[in-house]
Amino acid sequence: MSSMPADQSAVTVTVLGLGPMGRALAGAFLDAGVRTTVWNRTPGRDRELVERGAHGAGSAAQAVAASGVTVVCVVNYDAADGILRDEAVTAALKGRTVVNLTADTPTRARSTADWAAAHGIRYLDGAIMTATPSIGKPDAVFLHSGPEDLYQEVRPVLDALGGSHTHLGTDIGRAAAYDIALLDVFWTAMVGYVHALAVARAEGITARELAPFAQGISTILPPLFAEWADDVDSGSFSGEGNPITSTVSTMAHVIETAESHGIEAGVMRAAEGQVRRVIARGHGTDGYTRVAELLGGKA
């Protein structure tokens, strides 16, 4: 559990949005001794937090007026804009700080920052890279982007959320860009895993039987992430250990097995198609990382 420094005892924070993550954020602030005001569009979600000591606001405008820093965590930027761009809320936020931890695209983060600047609102964007149970604990991971001086000013408030906080730079869309890229890794992996479970089950292998070996496969990935990052940044795309011609062969085996059981293999077929295009362009001795150039329109 985090705690506020003694000279920060008067710090206040408002949390807008009390879905599972918003409630976790507000709860962490309360646990750290921060005076916390909460508001949610749907009434009633603040009941438990109020019982724990939070101040429930009657409106979003009242909520943001109660604190120097407002943390927003809702489903997307359409929802965030629907709250923040209300005339009364915008007026109440003038001269105050918004830390937007809502997930969306880098473009939306930049457009919201432009709106905030035009209305005299100080703005930081951010992303939460761990699940709800991590909030307030050492394993929570937060990414932030925006003005360095503003980040340093609100850092004592952010520290109450526990875990690690990384400022990625002044480009306001940078935290969202990291978030999108990392979610791409996560959901692509999840798509592969559930497809593997379907193929395994068709071959008489239960999910529980496969799981330990799937976990073993996952341990191969971290060193590959580092190695492949070097390949892409250096432009080497080394295929010394595993040329892309070998990759396409294994992909074809997955497709054949899946489709023999009537299991859709569209995702793997798309990946195989990318690999074959790389080979057709004369890069058959390169590694799989050459696909990144293809996707970026450079291969």
Report which secondary-structure segment, H or E, holds 295: helix 290-295
Six token digits for residue 268: 């793997």
Beta strand pairing call for 12-16 and 55-56: unpaired
Two tokens at 167? 């400022």
Angle 174-202/207-218 helices, nearest 10 degrees? Answer: 140
What is the identity of the amino acid at 245? Answer: T
Note down pLDDT in tens along the chain; length 299 residues. Answer: 444 444 444 689 999 999 999 999 999 999 999 999 999 999 899 999 999 999 999 999 999 999 999 999 999 999 999 999 999 999 999 999 999 999 999 999 999 999 999 999 999 999 999 999 999 999 999 999 999 999 999 999 999 999 999 999 999 999 999 999 999 999 999 999 999 999 999 999 999 999 999 999 999 999 999 999 999 999 999 999 899 999 999 999 999 999 999 999 999 999 999 999 999 999 999 999 999 999 999 86
Domains of the chain and CATH, by start: 6-171 (3.40.50.720), 177-295 (1.10.1040.10)
Q: Are 102 and 73 in contact (CB under 8 A)?
A: yes
